[in-house]
Amino acid sequence: MKLPIVRYGDPILRAKGKRIAAVDAHVRELAANMIETMHLANGIGLAAQQVGEALQLTVIDVSGAEDQESTLKLNGTEVDSNSLMPLLLINPELTLNKETTLAIEGCLSFPEITADIRRAISVVVRAQTLEGTPVEIEASGLLARALQHEVDHLNGILFIDRMSAATKVALRSRLKRMQRENAPG
Amino acid at residue number 185: G
Catalytic residue among 53, 105, 138, 150: 150
Please tell me the distance from the alpha carbon of residue 90 to that of residue 137, in angstroms, as a whole number.
Answer: 13
Residue 32, CA distances (Å) to 37, 63, 130 in order: 9, 17, 10
Instruction: Return the range that interacts with Zn ion (CB under 5 A); candidates 6-14, 79-87, 99-107, 173-181.
Output: 99-107
Q: Taking CB positions, which residue lies at the least distance from Zn ion?
A: 107
Indicate the residue among 107 and 117 with the shorter CB distance to Zn ion: 107
- In which element (H, E) is residue 164 found? none
**Torsion (CA) 119, 121, 127, 130 in degrees, nearest 10:** 90
Indicate the residue among 107 and 123 with the shorter CB distance to Zn ion: 107
Q: How far is the CB of 108 from Zn ion (least distance, A)?
A: 6
Q: Is 150 a residue of the active site?
A: yes
Q: Binder to Zn ion among 107, 125, 127, 151 (CB under 5 A)? A: 107
Site track 152-171 with Zn ion (rule: CB under 5 A), x = hit:
--------------------
Indicate the residue among 133 and 179 with the shorter CB distance to Zn ion: 179
Instruction: Return the range that interacts with Zn ion (CB under 5 A); candidates 57-65, 102-110, 140-148, 171-179.
Output: 102-110
Concatenating the DSSP letter of every residue in 23-80 gives: --HHHHHHHHHHHHHHHHTT-SEEEGGGGT--BSEEEE--TT-TTS-EEEEETTEEE-
Amino acid at residue number 66: E
Catalog residues that contact Zn ion under the rule CB under 5 A. 107
Task: Please list the active-site residues.
Answer: 150
